[in-house]
Amino acid sequence: MSQLPTDARIEQAVAALARGELVGVPTETVYGLAADAGNPEAVRRVFALKGRPSDHPLIVHIADASWLSQWADPVPETALALAAAFWPGPLTLVLRRARGVPDAITGGQDTVALRAPAHPLMQAVLRGLGHGIAAPSANRFGRISPTTAAHVRAEFGERLPIVLDGGPCAVGIESTILDLSGAHPAILRPGAIGRAQIESVIGPLVEPEAASRPRVSGALESHYAPTCPLRWVDAAAIDALLVAPENLQGALVLRCGGSIDPAHGMTLPDDAVGYAHGLYAALRSLDARVPASILVESVPDKPAWAGVRDRLRRAAVRA
């Protein structure tokens, strides 16, 4: 189907969604496993294909802020201000759900997560369908999120015949999730839109009280994990190992900046944007070499790195 012209591929994806089928779609963060959010049967297929527990709520993707009121009630001023600043883009807002939003989407909670994605193909699919699209990351539950169409095909193969190829995802890690449904706004999942950017629009955030927050499947331990063990190692220890690579004993290294012999691992840029862009593809390709473990060189402990550090920390947790 990638031979079809772009308009025909978009039409094919929209038609499949309208029939209640699932489609792999590109977004600027990671690829999504899309279903018509208004069709509970289609949404149930998402959980079945992912192998995801059905009480984990899904993000509803919308074309722009004018669609918010179909899904959320009330739509607070803070949501509109953030949407004006960051949509379309990698920011998800958790709001009180409007009447009629299916339980299949919200996991039975009284809130709904909403995001207007920036990828032009996803925008075209949303406008073609004319309705919200539920889309978790297009990976099997607990596995590394896909950032290329090939990753999506590797996850689901024949069980997901239509994958809309939009090239590698620009951002590379999942959206920032901001909860606006409670007394105080709180970041539930860090991402490319950082805390300081959010605070520049809605003022200072109160520290979250973890226990009182809604469920976030991304907040479960052992998420985004490769199949082999992953460990954080500081730069000095990595340097020492690479001087005497026999000491790696079958481990592969993911460096942050600098160079490495490809036989011993890979390197990612030492800026947070470049690192996030390449992270999941790097973890997939290292994991595919079936190393004894992946040694990840520690990354800077700075605000710009919050999203990357969060994903690495989860990937390092073993079930």
Contact 18, 129 (CB under 8 A): yes
Name which position in 88, 166, 218, 307 contacts ligand TXA (CB under 6 A): 218
- Least CB distance to ligand TXA at residue 108 (A): 10
- With CB under 5 to 8 Å by kind, the binding choice for 113 among ligand TXA, Mg ion, none is ligand TXA
Half-sphere exposure of 177 (CA within 13 A, CB side): 27
DSSP structure string for 214-269? PP-GGGSSS-S--SS-EEEE-HHHHHHHHHSGGGGTT-EEEEESS---TTTEEEE-
Binding region for ligand TXA (CB under 6 A) out of 29-37, 203-211, 242-250, 275-283: 29-37
**Does 148 help bind Mg ion (rule: CB under 5 A)?**
no
Q: Residue 185 CA to chain centroid, in angstroms?
A: 20
Strand-pair partners of 114: 60, 93
Binding region for ligand TXA (CB under 6 A) out of 57-65, 123-131, 237-245, 263-271: 57-65
- H or E stretch including 188? strand 186-189
Nearer to Mg ion, 137 or 176 (CB): 137
**Does 135 help bind ligand TXA (rule: CB under 6 A)?**
yes
Binding region for ligand TXA (CB under 6 A) out of 108-116, 234-242, 291-299, 305-313: 108-116
Half-sphere exposure of 191 (CA within 13 A, CB side): 23
Name which position in 27, 123, 148, 293 contacts ligand TXA (CB under 6 A): 27
- Least CB distance to ligand TXA at residue 216 (A): 4
Question: Parallel, antiparallel, or unpaired for β 91-96 and 111-115?
Answer: antiparallel
For residues 29 and 146, what is the distance between their CA atoms, to the nearest angstrom?
9
Name which position in 16, 17, 30, 144 contacts ligand TXA (CB under 6 A): 30
Half-sphere exposure of 39 (CA within 13 A, CB side): 18
**Does 43 help bind ligand TXA (rule: CB under 6 A)?**
no
Name which position in 21, 155, 165, 174 contacts ligand TXA (CB under 6 A): 174
For residues 225 and 227, what is the distance between their CA atoms, to the nearest angstrom?
6
For residues 158 and 169, what is the distance between their CA atoms, to the nearest angstrom?
22
For residues 237 and 234, what is the distance between their CA atoms, to the nearest angstrom?
6
Nearer to ligand TXA, 80 or 118 (CB): 118
- Least CB distance to ligand TXA at residue 165 (A): 15
Nearer to ligand TXA, 39 or 175 (CB): 175
Name which position in 92, 123, 137, 176 contacts Mg ion (CB under 5 A): 137
Residue-wise burial string across 30-59, b where 16 or more C-beta atoms lie within 10 A, e elsewhere: bbbbbbbbbbbebbebbbebbebeeebbbb
DSSP structure string for 54-100? TTS--EEE-SSGGGHHHHBSS--HHHHHHHHHH-SSSEEEEEEBPTT
Binding region for ligand TXA (CB under 6 A) out of 71-79, 81-89, 215-223, 263-271: 215-223
Question: Which residues, 261 to 300, sit near ligand TXA by CB under 6 A?
Answer: none
Binding region for ligand TXA (CB under 6 A) out of 55-63, 195-203, 229-237, 256-264: 55-63
Name which position in 44, 45, 56, 309 contacts ligand TXA (CB under 6 A): 56
By the criterion CB under 5 A, which residues form the site for Mg ion?
137
By the criterion CB under 6 A, which residues form the site for ligand TXA?
27, 29-30, 32, 56-59, 90, 92, 94, 106, 109, 111-113, 115, 117, 135-137, 174-175, 177, 188, 214-218
